[in-house]
Amino acid sequence: MQGANQTSGVSDSDIVGAFERFIDAGNSTLDLFTAISELLEESGFFGSKKTEKEATNGVSLDSEPVEEDSIL
């Protein structure tokens, strides 16, 4: 993230100041960690989550639903 800050022209003192304001506003370091984790997750930084169907390549061990006979 430091590289991204430098590319965007954000200095270390800017980061320290923002952190101090965040804490002074009543937030905790856990709040900051949660916010950053959510941001990275939403941006795709951790890769995409596979859905159950993708993870199993469409194969399921669940039984297929059986249609009832309409004659009865």
pTM above threshold 0.75: no
Domain ranges of the chain: 2-44
d(CA 40, CA 49): 13
Average per-residue pLDDT in the chain?
Answer: 82
Residue 20 has pLDDT above 60, yes or no: yes
- The phi and psi torsions of 51 (rounded to 5 degrees) equal -75, 165
* pLDDT-based confidence at residue 22 (cuts at 50, 70, 90): very high
State the angle between helix axes of 12-24 and 29-43 in degrees (0 to 180), rounded to the nearest 10: 120
Q: Please report the sign of the dihedral spanned by the C-alpha atoms of residue 52, residue 55, residue 59, residue 62.
A: negative
* pLDDT-based confidence at residue 2 (cuts at 50, 70, 90): confident
pLDDT at residue 25, as a whole number: 98
